[in-house]
Chain A
Amino acid sequence: MSASISVRNVVKAFHLNRRGHFVVLDDVSFDVAAGEFVALVGPSGCGKTTLLDLIGGLTRADRGQILIGGREIDGPGLDRGIVFQQYALFPWKTALGNIEFGLEAKGIARRERAERARRFLDLVGLGAFADRYPHELSGGMKQRVAIARALSYEPDVLLMDEPFAALDAQTRESLQDELLSIWQRTGTTVVFITHSIDEAIYLGQRVLVMAAGPGRVTHTLPVHVPRGDLSEDIRSTPEFVRLRHEIWQLIRQRRGNAQWQVAQAA
């Protein structure tokens, strides 16, 4: 199952004090097709996480609409699964128990819960670690459990907030490949937030570039990197290198502009 996402003219501001408020997202609009893998890349402070919280229904937009599968969202729900950077596993539950937690929330019968949790733990290659507590798992294993948990209740949309940022380079690369193969098998719509340009191009079918102050989507770039085979080093293909340079310039240019504006104002 997968569903489209439609973000229309979303505005979000936080009130600082009586004096004023801080606009985090200003008129953000974009669409994600059902089954598409979209990567969102941007500098820190561009409101990436706020945007994900909005789609996840954890916070409400001040203005604008967010639609999942054509229907406007109303709070959080199991039609969207979120994977957080810091894993967010419940430390008092085992790997299996953590996955069952989401299934219980969905109201799945106890017997089916255990069976399904095991299936998804196998999907991320952790079948042998079902009874381990989070403190007994490595960072990469914890994130695998978190991904399995988010996938287990079969959401239409998977939202990922810099899920691999805290991992070492090798673990990150293997999890990227694993995520791609899971995505190819399940066909879930994925929105993947990252600050790494490489990661965005490697994973996304499209890359959305965001800018800060206020946060907004400035560019959408399709990724035409040949990826028939995951074992190939697509990061060194000319298309990949060209795209990386282009996105790098887009982000850098924005930063330059912002600095120039500050200088003008002073």
Chain B
Amino acid sequence: MSTLSVESKRGISASTVWLAAWRAARGSVAVVAFLALWEVLPRAGWVDPVFLPPFSVVLHALFEMAASGELGANLLASAVRAASGFAIAVALGVPLGLLIGWYRTVGDLLNPLLEIFRNTAPLALLPVFVLVLGMGETSKISMVVYSCIWPVVLNTVSGVRNVDALLIRSARSMGLGPLRLFVKVVLPASVPAVFTGIRVAGAYSILVLIAAEMVGAKAGLGYLVNYSQYTFEIPKMYAGIVTLAALGLAFNHAVVFVERRLTAWQGVR
């Protein structure tokens, strides 16, 4: 830090550059170290390069798959499934959560059932989904919907129920009726809680989809990873995993981006 303060004395531009460089370095140093370790360990012979090929070999496989179109096809299949399942879960889960949160009787009626569903591991139901809906897209997307909907519903319910009572009092004192109170106060006030649920759902969507694709699919990243392992194309398997990680990151960033725009009024926390 002492070098930083010395640099800052030379002028604003120098210190700004240093600060940006420092931020970039701080943000990537752990990742770079991890990848370097991945490269070095197999090359040095500390781990078996057959089971863990160096990162550059994996990257090479990745580019080859990308060039042949194999990667694109599988990535698209997974992304479409995850995104549509996630979107359906949000479209159903948010209104359901609002209903349960706002009408206490609806909540009291549905809560025991919700608790059972929520605590049933989605993957345990995978055979059921395959049995009833077959091996096609329907069963996989349904699986994603099922696992994504609970965090969305439950967080929306708690968002609605935990709206600051003072804000409701204040709005009521201005003569707002129940409907307008809901639209103008309860809805905007629960946006942050709703997004907490949506973010969790985003992570679940990919997690569950990959498992579903590993069990039975003819395309998708889960299928790619599993199939590459069967056929002992280990670099391809790792390339699939790296792509999965990138997809997950991209998904999460997209959600966070939307969340930031909608909850900018909270300020930086």
Contacts and interface: CB of A to CB of B under 8 A. Distances in A.
A84 B170 contact: yes
A114 B189 CA distance: 23
A76 B174 contact: yes
A133 B166 contact: no
A84 B166 contact: yes
Given A76-B175, A101-B184, A153-B174, A133 B169 contact: no
B266 interface: yes
Interface in B169-183: 169-176, 180
A58 B184 CA distance: 18
A82 B174 CA distance: 8
B257 interface: no
Contacts of A84: 166, 169-170
Interface string A83-95: 0101010111100
Contacts of B173: 56-58, 76, 80-82
B265 A92 contact: yes
Interface of B: 166-167, 169-176, 180, 184-185, 188-189, 191, 263, 265-267
Nearest to A146: B170
Contact of A133 (B176, B185, B191, B265): B265
B191 A88 contact: no
Contacts of B174: 76, 78, 101-102, 105-106, 153
A130 B180 CA distance: 24
Contacts of A75: 175
B38 to A, nearest CB: 43
A106 B180 CA distance: 12
Given A84-B170, A91-B265, 6 more contacts: A82-B173, A91-B189, A91-B266, A101-B174, A106-B175, A135-B267
A77 interface: yes
> Secondary structure at chain B's binding surface: helix, strand, loop or mixed?
helix
Nearest to A82: B173
**Which among B174, B189, B265, B267 has the greatest number of chain A C-beta atoms within 10 A?**
B174
Contacts of B175: 75-78, 105-106
A136 interface: yes
Most buried by A among B171, B173, B175, B191: B173
Contacts of A92: 188-189, 191, 263, 265
B189 to A, nearest CB: 7
Contacts of A58: 169, 172-173
A161 to B, nearest CB: 10
Interface string A112-156: 000000000000000000000101100000000000000001000
A93 B265 contact: yes
Contacts of A80: 173
Nearest to B264: A133
Interface of chain A, main secondary structure: loop
Contacts of A90: 167, 185, 188-189
- Most B Cβ at <10 Å: residue of A57, A77, A84, A90: A90
20 contacts: A56-B173, A75-B175, A76-B172, A76-B174, A77-B175, A78-B174, A82-B173, A86-B166, A88-B166, A91-B189, A91-B266, A92-B191, A92-B265, A101-B174, A102-B174, A105-B174, A105-B175, A133-B267, A135-B267, A153-B174
Contacts of B167: 88, 90
A82 B267 contact: no
Contact of A135 (B172, B189, B191, B266): B266
A77 B166 CA distance: 17
Contacts of A101: 171, 174, 184
Nearest to B184: A101
Interface in A14-58: 56-58
Nearest to B176: A105
Contacts of B188: 90, 92
A220 B169 CA distance: 29
Contacts of B171: 101, 105
A92 B188 CA distance: 7
Nearest 4 A/B pairs, CB to CB: A88-B170, A92-B265, A82-B173, A105-B174
Nearest to B265: A92
Contacts of A135: 265-267
Contacts of B267: 133, 135-136
Contacts of A133: 265, 267
B264 to A, nearest CB: 8
A102 B166 CA distance: 15
A92 B166 CA distance: 15
Interface in A190-218: none
Interface in A65-81: 75-78, 80-81
A133 B267 CA distance: 9
A127 B185 CA distance: 25
B170 A82 contact: yes
A153 B169 CA distance: 17
